[in-house]
Amino acid sequence: MSQPIMSISSSEPVKIINALKEISIINTHQIYPDYIITSRLGYTVGIARGTTNDIISNKLDVHSHISEELSRFHTDLKIFLQEDFLGMNHNSHVILKGGQETQLNYIALINTIISSCIANNALWVPSASIYATIELLKNWNNFFFQKEKHSSLNIRPRKAEKTFSLSSELSNQIWWVSDIPDINIGLKRAINMVYKSGSLMKLFMKSRNELEEIPEIGKGIADKFRLFLDEEIKE
């Protein structure tokens, strides 16, 4: 069976393009995002890659270029892939690969990246090097985003059908949310959570603060639901 095909912007490094040539097509018209993966379930994943040097040199104005870039994605999921070492010295300044010190405040930089991702419903994923980026993209394209059942769904709901997956009927997804053990979400809250999010996958991406904004959810349930998802994904 042929591997799923990833679309790559022609402006990406030759080293990455060559390493992924067997599982990708190069799109000369693709500016944003840098990479697009289409899952077997039909949702699309847009990935913006930025090295630490790139972030510091040209992505921190206009609240920020990161946010501006992510806002131009038209994919179901958005990922900002931050590549290379990012450290902090005793003065809270950013340290780059090789120990090079800067005058940029580490906390301010981290908060800029986080706020840009939150504003665009995007995930922030660190990558240790260009080689780590290549391995991540291979895995995401060939395996992780090709799963027919997300790892968060390993616990079977009591009332949902046995063949539950992200492609299940909306009513079945609602039952799954309502029946998560030890949270006491209930059917009414589950309906709000799924409908206000637009899809189960988008619900999974919401932060605790975003979950609290859903009618009748509150801090307690938002905390428990986010903790449940984070623990299930780790497994």
206 pLDDT band (50/70/90 cuts)?
Answer: confident
Residues 165 and 100 both lie in one domain? no
Q: 68 with 62: CB under 8 angstroms?
A: yes
Task: Measure the CA–CA gap between 190 and 26, rounded to whole angstroms.
Answer: 41
The per-residue pLDDT for 164 is: 45
Give the domain-ending residue among 146, 173, 193: 146
Residues 155 and 139 both lie in one domain? no
**Residue 224, C-beta contacts closer than 8 angstroms, at least 6 positions apart:** 182, 183
Residues 110 and 169 both lie in one domain? no
Residues 141 and 155 both lie in one domain? no
Residues 155 and 142 both lie in one domain? no
Three-class DSSP category at 176 = helix
Q: Is residue 192 in some structural domain? A: yes
Instruction: Specify the CATH number for the domain of residue 200.
Output: 1.10.150.20
Instruction: Specify the CATH number for the domain of residue 94.
Output: 3.40.50.10130
Three-class DSSP category at 123 = strand
Domain count, the chain: 2
Instruction: Report pLDDT digits (tens) over 91-129.
Output: 999 998 888 888 889 998 899 899 899 989 999 999 999
The per-residue pLDDT for 42 is: 81
Domain span at residue 170 reads 151-234
Residues 65 and 13 both lie in one domain? yes
Nearest in space to 168 (alpha carbons), one of 144, 200, 193, 146: 200
Total Cβ atoms within 10 A of residue 161: 14
